[in-house]
Amino acid sequence: MVQVQLRVPEKMIKEIDKWIAEGRFKNRSDAIKTIITMYEEREKTREFYKMLMERSKESKEKPEILIPLEEI
């Protein structure tokens, strides 16, 4: 792992420390890594949704390209 230094508003650190006290995370590092992972997952979900919307648009424009689910 790589160690990094970052500046975080005090309000955020207080919130993270509260979560640690509640037992949600072991420490600040664990909390920040989890938050970053959740952000990555959210971005993947947004990309998937975008792809679904594009496919939906394609299917409306060219319904002949659709494959019935029974054929899969």
Residue 43 lies inside a defined structural domain of this protein: yes
- CA angle, corner 14, sides to 38 and 23, nearest 5? 60
- Residue 61 — very low, low, confident or very high, per pLDDT cuts 50/70/90? confident
Record the pTM. Answer: 0.73
Residue 70 lies inside a defined structural domain of this protein: no
How many domains are there within the chain? Answer: 1
Which residues have a Cβ under 8 Å from the Cβ of 19 and sit 6 or more positions away? Answer: 25, 31
Residue 14 lies inside a defined structural domain of this protein: yes
Residue 69 lies inside a defined structural domain of this protein: no
- Residue 71 — very low, low, confident or very high, per pLDDT cuts 50/70/90? confident
CA distance 24 to 30: 10
Rounded mean pLDDT, 42-63 = 90
- CA angle, corner 33, sides to 6 and 46, nearest 5? 105
CA distance 15 to 50: 32
The domain of 14 spans 10-57
